[in-house]
DNA sequence: CGTGGGGTTGATATAGTTCAAACTCTGTGG
DNA sequence: CCACAGAGTTTGAACTATATCAACCCCACG
């Protein structure tokens, strides 16, 4: 890995605030450190626990028969995940940025608490609804038809979720491969599109894993085109 | 519309079982009939209620700045939806098959009930988790890279959700345009792909709005190719 | 009988995949 | 210390699946 092998850039280093990380369930949480590449749970494993990322980042993904990996969600500090009715999960969760700290909430105990304490119950519903909204946004993102729109929407989403201050560069804890699997594109396309955005002056790449968003408008604009070869009039990014 | 303008084919005519339709919340539900094309709620409207489809079908969709419509979810009898934390929804819900019957659960009263009655609280969590799983399956579906895979996965999902008996034709309550917007494809591509599946003998079209799945395996196979023009050796469907 | 929405099919253009190569950075081992 | 390997990233050239544009059919409905 070209940039600090899976180590989380500083902007992400903040621990999730206790409030976001499951009010009232602290007492049944078991917190564990994870290393880069470790799995929090596996595909087709029983869904006994809910989880939340306290530090680091993870991906929720599936590998289908033809070996292609699909990433359904990136999980950042504060995100709660692993909700399921079924006995087995269809997805695996893996750490992509260390040092990572993950809280685990045994499902039956959590459900019992939710039923005993109305506040906790409400909190859990709220978190589940957050998952739903994140997944809906993701569906909208995947529904974009051009690579340009997908990558732009992805950058804006990451900026929003990282709570970045307007012109601070946002940290991407994932590789280009991860982004490609998330957007249902090829690595090459992701790379080319980022380069194009850079040439157009919409973003600036700080190293490979940080992006400074320069022109929010242009990113949000639907008509943004690829423009494979602009006759080199705008200066490229550093 | 070529086939009975938005009228739901019979297989869908069953009312959602009371159990699936929100145990215990019947007393605060207001049930209303809807007609084809009517909106249950609008994009950017406050999210005061949860809903469930009792009869008919609906789509949850967004229209973005460039006028393109994206369908995030198809809603069939028994599906509960409209969950949100935010004040405003990002999505609209519209009836696509009549006669439709929709139950509406005022959010604050429903939340109060959930907090007062543990069983109801658990029921709501379960429904929210169902939403999550449906959206995750959808993300996986959209992550497919070929039109063939998308359409195949869509048909299998519809078959599953309609609870169809193996060789009974499944009813598609939506138009080709809806399917296209759901899969992030063009109508023409959806149509061509269905025709191709038909030529290959994987499915049979019964009219335009019913599909009999003949070869489950072939649909599920990842390697399925488009084969634009097989030299007309297999007989086409009726 | 004409109109319009939905559906299918064909021809062409193009965005994105695929294959290939080179570069950077990190870590490892002589 | 240098050589080397490997993962991640970028760029180029060719190919191909899908979008796009256009024509047509079918049926329901006024």
User: Given this model, what pLDDT does residue A2 score?
Assistant: 38
Position A137 scores a pLDDT of 87
* Rounded Cα–Cα distance for residues A160 and B208 (Å): 43
Quick one: which residue's CA is nearest to D18's C1'? B189
At residue B23 the predicted structure's pLDDT band, cuts being 50, 70 and 90, is low
Subunit contact B140:A62, Cβ cutoff 8 A: yes
pLDDT of residue B238: 29
Determine what percent of chain B is predicted with pLDDT higher than 90: 47
* Residue pLDDT tens, chain A, 238 long: 334 434 444 343 444 444 455 567 888 999 999 999 999 999 888 999 999 999 999 999 998 777 788 999 999 998 899 998 877 888 999 999 988 999 999 999 999 998 888 888 888 888 899 889 888 888 888 888 799 999 999 999 999 887 766 678 888 999 999 999 999 999 999 999 999 999 999 999 988 889 999 988 888 765 544 443 333 333 323 2
* Mean pLDDT, chain B, whole residue set: 82
Contact between A11 and A76 under an 8 Å Cβ cutoff? The reply is no
Measure the CA–CA gap between B222 and B216, rounded to whole angstroms: 12
Q: Kindly list the residues from chain A whose CB atom is less than 8 angstroms away from the CB atom of residue B68.
A: 145, 222
- pLDDT of residue B14 exceeding 50, the answer is no
Rounded to whole angstroms, how far apart are CA atoms B77 and B101?
Answer: 9
CB-CB contact of A178 with A212 (8 Å): no
Which of B197, B211, B107, B77 is closest to B149 using CA atoms?
A: B197
Which residues, 6+ apart, have CB-to-CB distance to B231 below 8 Å? none
The Cα A167–Cα A154 span in angstroms is: 17
The band of B227, judged by pLDDT with boundaries at 50, 70 and 90, is very low
Q: How far apart, in whole angstroms, are the C-alpha atoms of residue B73 and residue A133? A: 12
User: What is the Cα–Cα distance from A5 to A104, expressed in whole angstroms?
Assistant: 25
Say what the pLDDT of residue B162 is: 80
Phi, psi torsion values for B71, nearest 5 degrees: -100, 125
**Partners of residue A137 in chain B, C-beta under 8 Å:** 90
Decide if B136 and A184 are in contact by the 8 Å CB cutoff. Answer: no
Cα–Cα distance measured from residue A125 to residue B237, given in angstroms and rounded to the nearest whole number: 47
Q: What is the mean pLDDT of residues B183-189?
A: 95
Omega of the bond leading into A99 within 30 degrees of 0 (cis): yes
Averaged over B206-219, what is the pLDDT? Answer: 89
Task: Please tell me which residue lies nearest to nucleotide C23, judged from CA to C1'.
Answer: A2
Question: What confidence score (pLDDT) does residue A27 get?
Answer: 86
Q: Cβ B118–A115 below 8 Å, yes or no? A: yes
Nucleotide whose C1' lies closest to the alpha carbon of residue A225? C15
B232 to B199, B201, B206, B211: CA distances (angstroms) = 8, 12, 20, 21
Report pTM: 0.84
Instruction: Annotate chain A with three-state secondary structure.
Output: CCCCCCECCHHHHCCCCCCCCCCCCHHHCEEEEECCCCEEECCCCECCEEEEEEEEEEEEEEECCCCCEEEEEEECCCCEECCCCCCECCCEEEEEEEEEEEEEEEHHHHHHHHHHCHHHHHHHHHHHHHHHHHHHHHHHHHCCCCHHHHHHHHHHHHHHHCCCCCCCCEECCCCHHHHHHHHCCCHHHHHHHHHHHHHCCCEEEECCCEEEECCHHHHHCCCCCCCCCCCCCCCCCC
Angstrom CA distances, A119 to A217, B116, B127, stand at: 40, 11, 19
Nearest-by-Cβ selection for A85 from B129, B142, B222: B129
If pLDDT is split at 50, 70 and 90, which confidence band does B184 have? very high
B131 min Cα distance to partner chain A (Å):
7
Q: Which of A107, A136, A144, A218 is the best substitution to test chain B (most B C-beta atoms within 10 A)? A: A136
Residues A85, B135: C-beta atoms closer than 8 Å: no
């Amino acid at each position: 890995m070209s940039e600090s092998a899976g180590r989380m850039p500083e902007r992400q280093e903040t621990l999730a605030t206790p409030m976001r990380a499951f009010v009232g369930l602290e007492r049944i949480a078991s917190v564990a450190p994870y290393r880069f590449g470790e799995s929090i749970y596996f595909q087709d494993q029983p869904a006994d626990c809910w989880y939340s990322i306290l530090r680091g980042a993870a991906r929720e993904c599936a590998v289908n028969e033809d070996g292609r990996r699909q990433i359904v969600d990136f999980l950042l500090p504060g995100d709660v995940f692993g909700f399921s009715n079924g006995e087995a999960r269809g997805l695996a969760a893996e750490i992509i940025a260390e040092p990572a700290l993950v809280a685990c909430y045994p499902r039956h105990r959590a459900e019992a608490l939710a039923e005993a304490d109305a506040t906790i119950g409400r909190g859990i519903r709220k978190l589940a609804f957050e998952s739903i909204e994140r997944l809906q946004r993701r569906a909208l993102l995947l529904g974009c038809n051009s690579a340009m729109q997908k990558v732009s929407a992805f950058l804006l989403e990451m900026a929003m979720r990282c709570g970045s201050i307007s012109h601070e560069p946002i940290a991407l804890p994932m590789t280009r491969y991860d982004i490609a699997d998330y957007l249902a594109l090829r690595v090459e396309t992701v790379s080319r599109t980022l380069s194009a955005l850079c040439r157009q002056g919409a973003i600036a790449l700080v190293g490979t894993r940080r992006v400074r968003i320069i022109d929010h408008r242009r990113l949000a604009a639907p008509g943004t085109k690829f423009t494979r070869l602009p006759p080199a009039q705008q200066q490229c990014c550093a």
